[in-house]
Amino acid sequence: MSWFESKDKPKIPPAKALWAICPKCMSHFEKQVWKDNGRICPKCGYHGRLSARERIASMADEGTFVETFREVGYSDHLEFHDATGPYKEKVEATIAKTGETESIVMGTCEIGGHKAMLGVMDFAFMGGSLGTGTGERIARACEQAIAERRPLVIFSASGGARMHEGILSLMQMAKTSAAIGRLKDAGLPYISVLTDPTTGGVSASYAMLGDINITEPRALIGFAGRRVIENTIHQKLPDDFQSAEYLEKHGFIDKIVERKDLKAFIAKMLNYWGF
């Protein structure tokens, strides 16, 4: 038996246990370095994903966030089943894992002393997909914001509409856009923050409708998926395609703001606008 076939070779822990790997530039860092840097890649500046709760903690003034509409959750009106089982089981497992009841956490708070309605999507909840509960929370948030004269701030992170909820998930695109329209008509500001990743039916509805649309460095933002586009045009796409920088260059993003400056930037805008 050769040495490399030996059964008592030393156990090496998998790379994932030791290293944090930047998903954008594939650089390796010690886990602690990645964590200490706020999940921002020290090499390329990519801003790693945050949970909704982490984001809220970074945005809302301490002790001001009051969650709303938590009772509005998913709906399995299609009794949807796919190859891997029922939707209901998957979504219940997601609820148990994340502790959230939908892909957006909504609530009232203050941001740098400015009162606001804040919604934060969590990509860990079914890929941040837009379900009927998500759309309903956003529509209710718009209506409450109008009633209480609160500016609306939404952080998006989503793969798009939730196909397990069929046509009614598609209809949430129209419903949320209509509600945002009413909020704007009422003279209230809506700041949309598109975080990594914001694509499909979410980018094609409320996420792109901000009075200002802002994002973080290197976030992925687009409508169709990269592979779908490459198959359509039979060409390889450049690396920066659908990046925050690409969108800013093409005129669809007002500003790319680093995570550490986001709260101050939003407060500054609300201040300019008299809120």
Cα 38 from Cα 45, distance rounded (Å):
11
Q: The dihedral of CA 74, 183, 156, 116: what is its sign?
A: negative
CB of 223 to other proteins, least distance (A): 4
32 lies in the site for other proteins, by CB under 8 A: no
Within 40-79, which residues bind other proteins (CB under 8 A)?
71-73, 75, 77-78
Taking CB under 8 A as the criterion, the residue among 15, 66, 83, 96 binding other proteins is 83
Q: What is the largest CA-CA distance in the chain?
A: 79
Decide: 195 and 221 in contact? Cβ < 8 Å.
no
Strand, helix or coil at 220?
strand
Identity of the residue, 133 or 189, whose beta carbon is nearer to other proteins in the bound complex = 133
Binding pattern to other proteins, positions 172-201, x when CB under 8 A? xxxx-xxxxxx--x-------------xxx
Nearer to other proteins, 64 or 177 (CB): 177
237: contact with other proteins by CB under 8 A: yes
* Contact of 113 with 61, CB cutoff 8 Å: yes
Rounded Cα gap, residues 167 and 37, in angstroms: 41
Distance CA 262, CA 153 (A): 12
Q: Could you say which of 228, 240, 261, 268 contacts other proteins (CB under 8 A)?
A: 228
Q: Which of 13, 14, 187, 251 binds other proteins (CB under 8 A)?
A: 251
CB 170 → other proteins: shortest distance, Å?
Answer: 4
